[in-house]
Structure 1
Amino acid sequence: MTQTPMRVRAEIDLAALRANVRALRARAPHAQLMAVVKSDAYGHGAVPCARAALDAGATWLGTATPQEALALRAAGFDGPLLCWLWTPGGPWGAAVEAGIDVAVSGMWALTEAVDAARAVGRTARVQLKADTGLGRNGCQPADWPELVRHALAAEAEGTVRVTGLWSHFACADEPGHPSIAAQLALFQEMVAYAEKEGLTPEVRHIANSPATLTLPETHLDLVRTGIAMYGVSPSPELGTSADLGLRPVMTLAASVALVKQVPTGHGVSYGHHYVTDRATTLALIPAGYADGIPRHASGTAPVLVGGKWRRIAGRVAMDQFVVDLGADGDTLEAGAEALLFGPGDRGEPTAEDWARAADTIAYEIVTRIGSRVPRVYVHEDPDS
C-alpha cells in the first residue's frame, strides 16, 4: 500500500538515538545515565525516545515539569524518574504517590513535599538541588545548612527520603571556563557538608551533556544527557555532532507544494524583502513558523531542494516559505522532497546549520518543531 506523502514530517531515527546513548555511556562508563526527555524529548517524542534510551542502557529518566513526569508514569515507565521544575501548589501529591523523585531548591518546596507525603501516606523521594553558580534554580550555599537540617528532620519523621544531591553547570559548553572548576569544587563542598550531617543520597550528579562529553571528573554517580542524546552538539566550541561521535536523530522534510516561473523584479512573501533579480523558478515549501520554522531564519536558512542547497527567499510565513530555485528549477515538480535539516548524509543541512542561520542554538531548532508536524519513527525495534 502506497503511503500518502505528508505536507511536512519529522522523521525520528530511534536507532541513532540508541547509538548515541551507548556512545554517551562509553564516555561515562562508571556512572549511571539519565535520559532527559523534557519538552517532549526536545521535540522528538518523549515516550518513544524514553523507551529507546532505556533499551540502550539509560537507567533514569528526567523531565522539567511534573506534568511531563506524570505522563511518563501513565505511559508505563516505572523506573527512576526525576522532575525538577516546580512551582507552589504543583501536583506534589500525585508525584509522591507515583514514586517520582522531586527536586527541592528551597524551604517552601520541602514543606510542600512533606505535606504531600503526609497527605498520601507515602514517603517522598526528594533530591536537593544546590545553586553552585548558575543562578537559576537551586539552594544558595548560605541557605544549604537550613535546608539540609530540615530534610534530615523530615527523614527522621519518615515523610522524606533524600535520594539525590545535584547541581547544574553554567558554562560546561565553554571549554576551560573558570566557572566549571569553581562550581564542581563548591558542589563537592556542599555534598560533603550534607553527608557529614547525615544524608546518604543514592546519587550525586552535576554533569549535563557537554560535561558528559568532555569533563570526566564531573561524572560522579550519574550523568544527565539531554541534547547530546538526540545527536546534536551542545555547542560549536565542542565540535560538530560527527566530531563528538553522535548522529542527529531528527530529519525534517516537506513536500514541495508548488513550482512556478516568475519574471525579473517579482517580490516574494510578505514585505517584499526578497525581489528576484532575474527570471527564475520559485518553489513553495508548506511549513512555517506555526510548525516551528524560525521566522528570524527568513532569507538565511538553507534547504536541500533538487539536490542543491537553497536559501529561504523572503520572509517565513505562518504556514509556508519560498526558495528560489534559479535557472535549474524548471526540472523540479510539485511533490518533490525538500530536506530542511537532518544528519547530513544526503547533503542536507543540519540543525546546527539552521542554528547558525537563525543566530540561535540547535537546541531551539529541534525543540520548537510544533505539534502539527507528524513524528514518523523508524527503527523502533532495537533488534531490527
Structure 2
Amino acid sequence: MTVADGAARIAPESVAIVDLAAVARNVSRFVLLADGAQVMVVVKANGYGHGAVEVARAAIQGGASWLGVADLAEAFELRDAHIDAPLLAWLHESHENFTAALEAGIDIGVSDLDQLESVVRAQHAVGAGPASVHLKLDTGLGRNGADEPNWAALFDEARRLELTGVLRVRGIFSHLANADDAEDALQLERLHRGIEGARRAGLQPQLRHLASTAAALRLPPMRLDLVRIGIGAYGLSPFDGGGSAELGLQPAMTLRSTVVAVAPSSDADFAAHSGIVPLGYGDGIPPQAAGRIHVTGDAGPLLVTRIESDHLVVEPVSPGNDVVRGDAVTLFGDPSEGVTAVDDWARAADTINYEIVTRLGDRVAREYVS
C-alpha cells in the first residue's frame, strides 16, 4: 500500500458537505420564478467553492437550461466532465484563441472588435458551422463589455459576419452593478437601447439577459429571455438584509471539522478547555471573524477566539459546555438546523457570503450528498 493509498482511507478531519439536492431545489425555485425565461446557473470559481462539475449536474437536474462561467478554463472543465449543456464563457483577453472553445461547442461572450476577430479566426480554423456569440454591452458596471460609443461598430461588424455564415449572434447581455433600484432601472434602459441598435443593424438575438440572482428575485422586468443565477443556486441570499429561508432557498454547504487537541483555556471566565480545530486562514477561514463568531460543538455553542494559518481556537461560552478531543464542530450550514449561517460569518468578517464559501481552499475535502 502506498502512502497515498493510506491517506485516502483516512477520513478527513475537515469536510465541506455539499447537498446537491438542495442545489437542484434552489434552481427549480428560480425556474418557476423566471416565468418562462430560461435559467443559466453560474458555476464560476469552482461553483463558488462548491465544486463546478457536481453543481452543474445538479443544476441541470433542477431545470437549468444553460451554464455560465467566467473563462475558458472553467468551461473546458465542464466539457471534459462530459457536460454538454449550453455553456457561455464571457471573460477573455482581446486576442484569445477560441479554436478549442468552438470545437467544444462553447458560446463566447464578446466585448470588442478584437474578440470578434479572434472568434472569426477560430471559426476559420475549425471549419464547422457558425460560431455562437453573445455580445456583451457595458451598461454601467464598468467591468467589461463594449462601451456605448462602440456599440454601433460592434453591431455592424457582427451583422456583416453573420451574413458570411461565420458566426451568429445568439445573445446580447450585460451585468448589473446592483447599486440601487434606480441605477438598475437605468441599466435596463441602456440595455434596451443597445438591443434596439442591434436590431437596426439587422441582428436578431434570441437571448437578452441582464438579471443575476438579486434581480431575478425582486425585479421582474429584468428577467427578459434568460436569468443568470449565481449565489442563489447555492442557497444563499444576495441581499444584506434577510436570509435564505425567507427567499425559499436552502444553503447547500455545511462546513464541519473536529477538535484535534485541547488545552486549559486562557480566555474563558470559568474552568474550561480550549479546542484546536484544523481549519485556518490558509483554508480560507477569515481571520478578522475571530472573537465575533460562534460555531456549534457537540456540547453547544463555542466562541472562535483565534484564527491562525492552519487552525482556529474555540472556547465554551458557559460552564458545562466544555470541549473534548474528538468533538465535532460545525462552522456553518443551514441555520434552520440550528447551526451558524454563512451570513453570520460574512457579518463577522465584514464581507459578503459569496466570499466565505468561494474562498474555501482545496485542503478542505468536499463530500457530496443528495
Partner Cα distance (2:47, 2:245) in 1: 21
Report the alpha carbon displacement of residue 288 of structure 1 after superposing the two structures with TM.
Answer: 0.8
| 1:279 Cα deviation from its structure 2 partner | 4.2
Q: Is the 8 A contact 1:6 1:255 kept in 2?
A: no
Counterpart residue number, 1:113: 119
Looking at structure 1, the residues matched to 337 and 116 of structure 2 have their Cα atoms a distance apart, in angstroms, of 51
Which of 279, 288, 291 is matched with 1:296 structurally?
288
Match of 2:167 among 160, 174, 184: 160
**Are the equivalent residues in 2 in contact too, given 1:66–1:83 (CA < 8 A)?**
yes
**Residues 305-334 of structure 1: per-residue CA shift (max 9 Å, x gap):** 2343322113x1111010112553675321
- Specify the alignment match of 1:241 in structure 2: 244
Matched residue type, 1:96: L
Which residue type is aligned with residue 82 of structure 1?
A: L
- Say whether residues 1:255 and 2:262 are aligned partners: no
List per-residue Cα deviations over 1:151-190 (Å, max 9, x = no partner): 1111122221111000111116x4xx31011111111111
- Inter-partner Cα distance in structure 2 for 1:294 and 1:131: 33
**1:131 match: secondary structure:** coil
- The two structures have a TM-score, normalised by structure 1, of 0.90
- 2:148 maps to 141
1:319 corresponds to which of 290, 310, 314: 310
Equivalent residue, structure 2, for 1:200: 204
2:326 is the alignment partner of 1:335: yes
Instruction: Tell whether the 8 Å contact from 1:281 to 1:327 is kept in structure 2 after alignment.
Output: no
Question: Quick check: 1:282–1:329 contact (8 Å CA) kept in 2?
Answer: no
| 1:73 equivalenced with 2:65 (yes/no) | no
Q: Distance in 2 between matches of 1:133 and 1:18?
A: 32
| Aligned-CA RMSD value | 1.6
* Equivalent residue number for residue 281 of structure 1: 273
The superposition leaves residues 87-116 of structure 1 with CA deviations (integer Å, 9 ceiling, x where unpaired) of: 144341111111111001111111111111
2:268, 2:317 within 8 Å by CA — same for their partners in 1? no
1:301-312 matches, within 5 Å, as 301-312=293-304
Q: Does the 8 A contact of 2:315 with 2:323 survive in 1?
A: no
Residue of structure 2 in register with 1:352 after alignment = 343
1:191 alignment partner AA: I
Q: Percent identity?
A: 44
Q: 1:284 to 1:155 in 2, by over 3 A?
A: same
Q: Aligned letter for 1:367?
A: T
Cα distance in 1 between the residues matched to 2:39 and 2:240:
23
In structure 1, what is the equivalent of residue 46 of structure 2?
A: 40
- Give the structure 2 partner of residue 219 of structure 1: 223
Unaligned runs of 5+ in 2: 1-8
The alignment status of 1:124 with 2:116, answered yes or no, reads no
Structure 1 residues 298 and 213: alpha-carbon distance in aligned structure 2, compared to 1, 3 A threshold:
same
CA distance, structure 2, for counterparts of residue 149 and residue 346 of structure 1: 55
Residues 20-70 of structure 1 deviation map (CA, whole Å, 9 limit, x = unaligned)? 011111111210000111111101111111111101110000000110001
Structure 2 counterpart SS, 1:224 = strand
What is the DSSP-based 3-state SS (H/G/I as helix, E as strand, rest coil) of the residue aligned with 2:25? Answer: helix
Are 2:370 and 1:370 aligned? no
1:271 corresponds in structure 2 to none
* Corresponding residue for residue 272 of structure 1: none
Does residue 210 (structure 1) correspond to residue 214 (structure 2)? The answer is yes
Unmatched 5+ stretches in structure 1: 267-274, 380-384
Select between 290-299 and 203-212 the one with higher mean Cα deviation: 290-299
2:105 corresponds in structure 1 to 99
Aligned partners of 2:261 and 2:325 also within 8 Å: yes
Asked whether the 8 Å contact 1:66–1:91 carries over to 2, the reply is no
